[in-house]
Structure 1
Amino acid sequence: MSLISTEPKDAPRVGERNPERGVETLAEAKSWLKERGIEDIECITPDLAGVARGKLMPADKFFSSTVMSMPSSVFTTTVTGEYPEEDDAFQHDPSDGDVFLKPDFATLTAVPWASEPTAQIIHDAFHRDGRPFDLGPRQILRRIIGLYEREGLRAVVAPEIEFYLVKQNLDPDYPLEPPIGRSGRAEASRQSYSIQHVNEFDDLFDDIYEFSEKQGLEIDTLIHEEGAAQMEINLRHGDPLALSDQVFSFKRTIREAALRHKMYATFMAKPMSREPGSAMHIHQSVVNIETGRNIFSDDEGNPTAAFFSFIAGLQKYLPAVMCILAPYVNSFRRLTRGTAAPINVHWGYDNRTVGIRVPNSGPGSRRVENRVPSSDANPYLAIAASLACGLLGMQQRLVPEEPIAGSARDLPFGLPRGLLEALALFEDSSDLAEVFGPRFMATYRAIKQQEYETFMNVISSWERQHLLLAV
């Protein structure tokens, strides 16, 4: 797994930019596009599901007015394209007024899979009066980053994203299958960390690396995970917003590269019933802004009270943010006993059976790995939620349970078993309401409840198999 270092020498330097990703000013953006002969721009922003929403426009039109608008209802849409029902806490905007989107020039990059020279730029969402839009995922994460800054702190994260390669599947009633590799055969057994089975898809990974390089995305390592054609990409550590942008971009990149090779890449948490689920592990540490030092270690290199309180915050609040970390009914299929996924919020040193792992490291790199989130989570919201839990723990000076030395897989469940249970915990947390804001809490809960109701309208093959003639 990738390591995260928070020594001052390893921190991103102000003003240091990859020439393929980001500029600082509108004038630099014009020059950047002109140098590359780019005439079209994808103006995008993530919705609450992490789906890229926006508009494609000519560069000339973009530069005539860099402020773009979209209906506010874009941010209250379920993953199936529906809208949640109103209740006492959640109300639709009766006018469906506009949300204004402003480009973050630091995210300007190419769209390397486009047939014509095209650029993309991620936007921030605002109200008409300039206030950050309280349903925008980037704004939610910025809000959490701001809470750290008030304490004189800066969070550092490193995500690890798992995904499956599968055969193209045009009928959702049929189960997914592993794709055919260069050998002409599909994987038939578990191949964790196998170089040979990564090599089965060399041409695909060459495209992923090429697309990533052209977008200024920095892959740390790529490995074969436990499942059949299950892979993991680890990103280099850095700023939470920048890393969320990279995960957001990586998901698009990997899907597009897979399509070129007539296969799908899926970030579903549990795409195949007999294979392991896919996670998005988040490594986290915290730096003192003034000194640049990792606050999880003291001058002698020992763990600090802040380190233990961060863990305790995760233990206390992770169950209440599970609807963000595991946002769909399918997500909870991953969190089952007897698999590699955690089922509780115990913690331990270099222990992969618990939800909260402390990897081996030196004092400057001391960090906490949250192993609970699934790969289908919106990266902005998942990282925001995980950091919020740790911050609340430090603010409240919580004390964690004793670490688990052996396996935690046979211990009782400490996480919600389903989406409705998770939503109830989320809705009842007054501490989280103060952190995320009441409108986001109400809207997110309403969207997830609507998605659950839509799921309940679907009759599964299990029901037809076992109930049709037996009951």
Structure 2
Amino acid sequence: MPRKKSNPAPETGKVLKAATSQPTLTSLRGVSGWREATAWLRARGIEDVECITPDLAGVPRGKMMPSSKFTSNTSLALPSALYRHTISGEYPEETDTFRYEPRDSDLKLMPDLSTLSVVPWETDPTAQVICDIIDTNGKAVSYTPRNVLKNVVRLYNERGWKPVVAPEIEFYLVAKNDDPDYPLHPPKGRSGRSILGGQGYSIAGINEFDELIDDIYHFSEKQGLEIDTLIHEEGPAQLEINLRHGDPVELADQVFLFKRTIREAAMKHGIYATFMAKPMQGQPGSAMHIHQSVVNIETRKNIFSNPDGSASKAFFHFIGGMQTYVPKTLAMMAPYVNSYRRLTPDMSAPVNNAWGYDNRTTAFRVPVSDAAARRVENRLPSSDANPYLALAASLGCGLLGILNEVEPEPPTEDTANEGSIDLPRGLLEAVSLLESEPALAEVFSPEFIGIYAGVKRGEFETFMQVISPWEREFLLLNV
């Protein structure tokens, strides 16, 4: 990611000016070591540092401390149970494959200093850094999301390849809602009226929230995050942010931070930003489309294209792997009961595992491009997915296709969303498929799959305790 120079605050200007011979101190994002981290924090007058890491849901967890303590070789720890609770905070019952660590021992936070950046919405000078999780012996903990993705990238690297991704994240702006029994509805824009649906690519729709969008851009720039484009989607007050292509771990980090950034910007304007897959009945869901390609590390050439520009065997095998394995990893891309409300016919989301050239009705779309940019877009993940796990699942399925030389079905020329649904119809079915495929355990680790499946089943059981309005409406007096 290109380094950008920040405008120094008046009280730190002298320090920054004196440090212009050291580009790292003027960078918006990342340093190369602890000595530079100390200077970077001092140059900005940073008082506190947030050490954060994604849990299974992608929620930021961690610790905050004074910057002096952060740079003093302090040992940071979290309990292992943090990766075994549900989105609602419950701890599921143990099973044969889902077990709690007997002592709930410590896991260590290892700051990745390449992610160090400011927290622009805080009133006091604050920085943040994303951390990896290691055990007390210094070994990477296999079931934590960032490590799951890193392991998939490593499998590519061992074969001389580097995966490249570009995520697109959709989300809704909604009016504040302090009672979960009431449906969500769009907020009022600058016109004083709630925006309606059917505003795809509307500039006026974006302008309704131009001050909020300005803050999103401002907060992002301060963190060294780069937005490629921003559009209004089909739903009322539904927006989409596209990110520039790059390294999967770096892009997952950006999505992780973007979600936090967008929520904070919305809260500043008295509204919510939600990444629920299906927040409003009768409206389109929110996706996290993932564009994927693979380059040869040595030649830097796209392995999806032959020297003559034609599509390579690796390209077709990657698609074959997606068709074969993505339905079995859907629980990592559609992780909640609500996610499957998005994956329904006639709601602008694929309900198949077909592929096609420039065909948005397929799960796997091949956009129009030249040979160097040949790529596959996975249109199944929803925006509620943990970005680390969604990217790991998608890339892992493609890799299995290449390694096993899986041949894809013929491309779909017409609409692919007519007829039967070719995907799991609910969370429990998706979790069972994830557990049933031995090849996935080799890619993601048996421990991760056991823990993840246990947490998802726990979330489903919690959901089943809730009586919905539909049940009160149609069952109360009719059965």
Report the TM range for the smaller structure's normalisation. Answer: over 0.9
Distance 2:371 2:75 in 1: 45
Selected match of 2:94 from 74, 86, 96 = 86
Paired residues for 1:229-248 under 5 Å: 229-248=237-256
What secondary structure is seen at the aligned counterpart in 2 of 1:264? strand
Q: Deviations over 1:252-309 (max 9, x none)?
A: 0000000000000000000001110000000000000010000001111000000000
Selected match of 1:59 from 55, 61, 67 = 67
Count how many residue pairs are aligned between Structure 1 and Structure 2. Answer: 460
8 Å Cα contact 2:197/2:234 also seen in 1: no
Distance 1:91 1:306 in 2: 38
Distance 1:398 1:461 in 2: 45
Deviation at 1:379, TM superposition (A): 0.1
Q: Is 2:308 the partner of 1:300? A: yes
Q: Deviations over 1:419-467 (max 9, x none)?
A: 0110110010100011111110100000000000000000000000111
Matched residue, 1:6: none
Selected match of 2:138 from 115, 130, 135 = 130
Distance 1:89 1:216 in 2: 41
Q: Deviations over 1:171-208 (max 9, x none)?
A: 00000000000000001231000001100000000000
Distance 1:399 1:412 in 2: 22
TM-score, length-scaled by structure 2: 0.95
8 Å Cα contact 1:218/1:236 also seen in 2: yes
Q: Deviations over 1:140-159 (max 9, x none)?
A: 11100000011110000000
Matched residue, 1:249: 257
Matched residue, 1:358: 366
Deviates more, 1:347-356 or 1:80-89: 80-89
8 Å Cα contact 1:67/1:103 also seen in 2: no
Deviation at 1:66, TM superposition (A): 4.3
Distance 2:196 2:162 in 1: 45
Distance 1:251 1:431 in 2: 31
Matched residue, 2:10: none
Distance 2:184 2:63 in 1: 32
Distance 1:308 1:66 in 2: 49
Distance 1:80 1:332 in 2: 18
Distance 2:75 2:199 in 1: 48
Matched residue, 2:388: 380
Q: Is 2:254 the partner of 1:267? A: no
Matched residue, 2:104: 96
Paired residues for 1:357-436 under 5 Å: 357-436=365-444
Deviates more, 1:443-452 or 1:188-197: 188-197
Selected match of 1:346 from 354, 379, 387 = 354
Deviation at 1:84, TM superposition (A): 1.5
Deviates more, 1:175-184 or 1:16-25: 16-25
Rate the CA distance shift 1:12–1:119 in 2: closer, same or farther, 3 A: closer
8 Å Cα contact 2:143/2:447 also seen in 1: yes
Distance 1:12 1:233 in 2: 19
Matched residue, 1:7: none
Q: Deviations over 1:397-439 (max 9, x none)?
A: 1110000011011032111000011011001010001111111
Q: Deviations over 1:198-237 (max 9, x none)?
A: 0000000000000000000000000000100000000000
The one-letter amino acid paired with 1:141 is: L
Selected match of 1:142 from 150, 154, 158 = 150
Q: Is 2:290 the partner of 1:282? A: yes
Where structure 1 has 5 or more consecutive residues not aligned to the other structure, the ranges are 1-10
Distance 2:351 2:67 in 1: 49
Deviation at 1:332, TM superposition (A): 0.2
8 Å Cα contact 1:297/1:364 also seen in 2: yes
Matched residue, 1:22: 30
8 Å Cα contact 2:168/2:240 also seen in 1: yes
The one-letter amino acid paired with 1:33 is: L
Q: CA RMSD in A?
A: 1.4
Matched residue, 1:447: 455
8 Å Cα contact 2:184/2:280 also seen in 1: yes
Q: Deviations over 1:335-368 (max 9, x none)?
A: 0011110001100000000000000000000000
Q: Percent identity?
A: 60
8 Å Cα contact 2:28/2:223 also seen in 1: yes
Where structure 2 has 5 or more consecutive residues not aligned to the other structure, the ranges are 4-22
Distance 2:422 2:327 in 1: 7
Distance 2:418 2:474 in 1: 29
8 Å Cα contact 1:12/1:238 also seen in 2: no
Structure 1 stretches of 4+ with a deviation exceeding 3 A read none
Distance 2:373 2:419 in 1: 30
Deviation at 1:12, TM superposition (A): 7.9
Larger RCO of the pair (alpha carbons < 8 Å, separation 6+) = 1
Selected match of 2:318 from 307, 310, 321 = 310
8 Å Cα contact 1:66/1:103 also seen in 2: no
